[in-house]
Structure 1
């Protein structure tokens, strides 16, 4: 509107004496009439924009009320969590661009800018997609079932649109992950075929899919999809060049081999090669160890537990603290020794610990053995905070309970680490102790980590188990229970059999509290022995 008024001002000032001739007034009236038409069109557009904005405000209010009625349950569904992040990082900026940019919305724009400063960032958006991909791989979930909202542990889940699936594939494409690009772009096409109101342009999906197929070695499929793209957009220059390139490669291949390969004119999904581990960076994920880790997370018994007939459950009374309320001990493994203690932490303690730790949560780090520095890593996805005994009698009581449970001194123990695992939260296979290649991992006055206590502070609907790769043990989160094991052999050497991992959380929210005991001042409580 400001531009229109400036335009009118320019017209009138160009003929300052127009009132002296009727013809000039007539011209002014014609300009006024044209201006009125522009103003009417502008008003219609503004009214339509405001109607859409009112509808958006109503929908946002309803969505917020629905989610906040039970946020833990709602956001515990990984698809819901992804869609919420997408809502703030993709849908909201789009709505703002279309509906809120107006001369009369400067104040609102400034207000929303300050209010949305805490919204998830683009990095969070990418991270939520990577989390869904991690869950898909670890738990062998079919792409279509995820898109349909059929997630283990979830009774009701929203379906993903073709655009949602396209976004999954697009982000994976930008990450150089052609394997998942193919899976999700194919699903986008399937969802698009079912949509009356198309949420994404088919040519956009075909553009990404064709190149991903080519990179994964599906030359003829890539050519067919590129031709399909050109049927929709004949002037697509890059597609034209790609099609010529694919035809040249196919002609050369046929000339060299003297045969026409199967699948030339086949359906899109026939005989597609799509190796998850084709990318060199993913070779660890193709290793037997990683495959064992994922299988254990799925609950598969790929590593038999040794001497299961010797595993027992019993009450323990070895400390006065447990005379009245004895320990409920479940032996999960004898070699290495791993035990689970049930009902070791009550609901009041759990809620208080979570309340104290929440403001301190920050992205968890890992120790880089090469640099000696703490850094973020994709193989550890969680947020953690630390609580000291001096801060609250409850924290001191938890420490005393750990000491009584393990018969170890608190002199060199670490502070209580509280961890929350979010969407697809995990910690891939690792040791809790430092190896010889990591001499600076812990302070010398503490020594190495001799024992681990993990308190589970929530039940998890699906996923989130602690798995031990060598022992084949799977410890599923149970609110109030704790898992305990020795990280070091009696000789002081690291026990390689304790390599373990925190499986991705498939459904729900996982909270744990870790207490690590160190070697120093344990000499008379757990004497060193020569035998390993």
Structure 2
């Protein structure tokens, strides 16, 4: 990310991201690596660019708190005074992580059964929604969970490869999940997918991210999402 920032400064090219975005990612990366002091410095640089970034402003006291805790732990370790309490906290963190890991692994394997009170509320239906187009092309929808709502849509779209050098389209018989951004103005097919998502979610897609095959990312600088739509492909 620091290389990206240097290139951003040197190259007079217009990008979809800003200097603020770069500072944000560098700060967060340093935080994940445990380099809290660097995370703090990059966050301060971000606030110089945009003093109104509330999340960055909230992170400043949080980073100061983490740095103070690290320095205190370092002092105790130098004195050989780690203490039973710290060891117990570390053990509890490890145990909680292991428990959570085992739970989500069981969930992915389908070994955790829903409570009857939850299961009876999970239904299937043809979604006609509020959009007129859905009255002609209703979507098959299944509730997988409630609060938050997790739903599965069926027979939404078939993956095809469009060869611009030849006429027509053909089904894809090879892996096409390379990571990249797909914008509505690049293809009528992409625009149709976005339009259909808008139809069945009843949400405006103007402020949404473009389609991104192969990888799910979270862009923190634009805040929490209302919803995330995932498309799963399979071979027939």
Q: TM-score under structure 2 normalisation?
A: 0.48
Larger Rg over CA atoms: 1
* Richer in strand (by share): 1
